[in-house]
Amino acid sequence: MAPPYAPSRSSSLWRAHLRIARFDHWVKNVFVIPGFVFALAIDRHRVETLNWFVPLLGMLAVGLVASSNYVLNEILDAPFDRLHPLKRNRPAAAGEINLPWAWVEWLFLFLCGALLGTALSRPLGVCLAALWVMGIAYNAPPLRLKDIAFVDVLAESANSPIRFMAGWYMTGTTTIPITSLLVSYWMAGAYLMTIKRYAESRDVRSRDLLVQYRKCFRYATERNLLVSIVFYGSLSMLFFGAFMGRYRLEMALAFPPVAMVMASYMALAFKADSAAQRPEGLWCEPWLLAAVALAVAAIGVLLFADLPWLHEVFTPTTAPVGR
C-alpha cells in the first residue's frame, strides 16, 4: 500500500483531488429542493417575481460548500477509512493526494461557494456558513461529533434542515421557515443516516474492526440502531403532521407515498453492500426511485391544489350543546 499522501504523477494527482471533492455526491443536494418548493407554496406571489438564475446558482453554491466538507472528511478520515473494506480505496486513504493541496482545496471550495451564495442572498450565505461549520464540528477534533454514538447521527442530519433553509431563501422570501417542517426534515435526515449506520454495521461483521473504523459503534449496536430508526421515523412524521394540520391539510394525502419511500429505503439496509451507504448508488434502485417519484408528484400537487372537500372530511367532531 502506498504511504499516506505520497506524491503522485500530475494527471493522477489532479484526478485524485477531483475525486475527494465527491462531485458525484451532489445528488444529496436534492434536499435543498423541498425548501424551495415549500417556500413558494407558502409565499405564492414569489412564483411570479422569481429570478430562476438565483436557485440555479444557489444549487451550485451549496454544492461547492458540500464538496469542501467532503474534502475535509477525506483528509481527517483517511486513517479510519483504511480499515473499511471499501472506503480504503478512497484517494486520501490510498495515499493518492497531496495533503497541503487538499487543505487549500478545502478552503478554496468553501470560499467560492460562500461568496457566491452571499452574493445571491445574505440569508443563503448564512446557511452555507452554517453548513460548513457543521462539517468542521462533525469531522475535526476536538469536537469530532461523528465519534459520539447517536450524537453523530443528529449532527450529520442537521445538514438536512440547513439545506432546506438554503432552498427556502433561494426564492428571495423574507418569511421565516416553519419550525415543524424543519424538525420533521431534521428527523427524516436522522432516519436516513441511522439506516446508513445500520447498513455499515451489517457489512463490517468484525465488531473490533467496526469500532476501530468508527468509534460511535462502540455503543451503536444493531439493536439500538433499529430502535433509533423507528424513533426518528416516527418523530419525522409527527412533526410533518403538525405542519399539515396547521398550514396545509391537503398534505394528508401525501402520507401513503411518503411512507412508501421510508419503507423502500429501510429495505435497502438489509442488502449486502447496500446503496444506503452510497447515495450515488441509489439511482440503481428502481423501487425506491418509483416511490420517490410518486411522493414528489403527490407533494408537488398537494402543496398548490386546494381541496375544500378534504377540509369538510377533517372537520373536528364536537359534542352537541347541552349534552
Calculate the alpha carbon distances from 200 to 148, 250, 265, 284, 300 in Å. Answer: 16, 37, 14, 19, 33
- The pairs formed by 137-140 with CB atoms below 8 angstroms and a separation of 24 or more are 139/69, 139/72, 139/73, 139/76, 139/77, 140/72, 140/76
* Nearest in space to 205 (alpha carbons), one of 222, 193, 183, 188: 222
* Cell, residue 144: 469530532
Provide the residue type at 32 as one letter.
V
* Nearest in space to 131 (alpha carbons), one of 37, 75, 56, 62: 62
pLDDT of residue 322: 59
pLDDT of residue 3: 47
pLDDT of residue 281: 73
Q: In this structure, how many other beta carbons lie within 10 angstroms of the beta carbon of residue 267? A: 15
3-state secondary structure the chain: CCCCCCCCCHHHHHHHHHHHCCHHHHHHHHHHHHHHHHHHHHCCCHHHHCCCHHHHHHHHHHHHHHHHHHHHHHHHHHHHHCCCCCHHHCCCCCCCCCHHHHHHHHHHHHHHHHHHHHHHCHHHHHHHHHHHHHHHHHHCCCCCHHHCCCHHHHHHHCHHHHHHHHHHHCCCCCCCCCHHHHHHHHHHHHHHHHHHHHHHHHHCCCHHHHHHHCHHHHCCCHHHHHHHHHHHHHHHHHHHHHHHHHHCHHHHHHHHHHHHHHHHHHHHCCCCCCHHHCHHHHHHCHHHHHHHHHHHHHHHHHCCCCCHHHHHHCCCCCCCCCC
Q: In angstroms, rounded to a whole number, what is the distance separating the alpha carbons of residues 294 and 298?
A: 6
CATH number for 1-177 (one of 1.10.10.520, 3.40.50.1000, 3.30.465.10, 1.10.357.140): it is 1.10.357.140
Q: What is the pLDDT along the chain (323 residues), one digit of tens a residue?
A: 444 544 445 678 899 999 999 998 888 888 999 999 999 988 888 887 888 899 999 999 999 999 999 999 999 999 888 887 778 888 888 888 999 999 999 999 999 999 999 999 999 999 999 999 999 999 999 999 998 989 999 999 999 999 999 999 999 888 889 999 999 999 999 999 999 888 888 876 666 777 777 777 788 788 999 999 999 999 999 999 999 989 999 999 999 999 999 999 999 888 887 877 776 677 778 888 899 999 999 999 999 999 999 888 888 777 666 55
